[in-house]
Amino acid sequence: MIRAILFDFNGVIADDEAAHVECFCLALQEFGLSLSKAEYYETYLGMDERTCTTLLLTARDGTCDAGLVPRIQDRKAELFRLHFSAQQPELFPGVIEFVQAARPLCRLAIASGGRREQIDRALRGTAIEQAVELIMSADDCPVGKPDPAIYRLALTRLNDAAPPLLRPEECLVVEDSKAGIRAARAAGMPVVGLATTYSASELREADRILPSLIDIDPGRLLREFS
């Protein structure tokens, strides 16, 4: 029986993945690192920027200059703020309706490799802001996806907040990336893959694949995993 839904954020709730990629690649360029959008989508999408940057620096230099990682992250965050200075990122069609319908049925949380300030800004004033009881971001977890750490930490925080205790198999994850799906499965959680970023054929590791959350009945979806 599913008693909680854990959402990834970028590519699941917020339709801002392309802007994140563009700003990240620009920030890397400024520090002499080359990463094409195609390479990012093929290998790194779903990882947090800290993990991705560390891998790129290590590949280039044979080691990672730990001081460069936060500087690149901060520059990317600055570029992202400038990109959306006049408006909030768009939320995917159907996601607000899905969250509102799911709220009476189970506990809701976000577990994302994105920065908390970016998540908060995208959700400010929306129904989702009030519906989720927990938001976990890269600021809370030192290890990024595909490591399961953020999903395990989200489960711990939910269990610290209120009984009865949730088990991993009672938490349904909603993800759009291969790294995120692998993180959820490694945490022992069933996972729905949304084909918003990758094609459905690339999300085969998910337990269920949906094109989006438009017109999805959360009650029916939860019963599929009972």
* pLDDT digit string, tens, across residues 85-100: 767 788 999 999 999 9
The CATH number of the domain holding residue 190 is 3.40.50.1000
Which pLDDT does position 86 carry in this prediction? 65
Q: What is the mean pLDDT of the chain?
A: 92
Same domain for 213 and 125: yes
Same domain for 100 and 71: no
Query: Taking 90 as the threshold, does the pLDDT of residue 187 lie above it?
Result: yes
Same domain for 171 and 61: no
| Spatial contact of 218 and 102, defined as CB atoms under 8 Å apart | yes
Which pLDDT does position 218 carry in this prediction? 98
Q: How many domains does the chain have?
A: 2
Taking Cα atoms as reference points, which of 119, 99, 132, 137 lies closest to residue 14?
A: 119
Which pLDDT does position 16 carry in this prediction? 83
The CATH number of the domain holding residue 27 is 1.10.150.240
* pLDDT digit string, tens, across residues 44-60: 777 778 888 998 999 88
Structural domain boundaries enclosing 25: 17-83
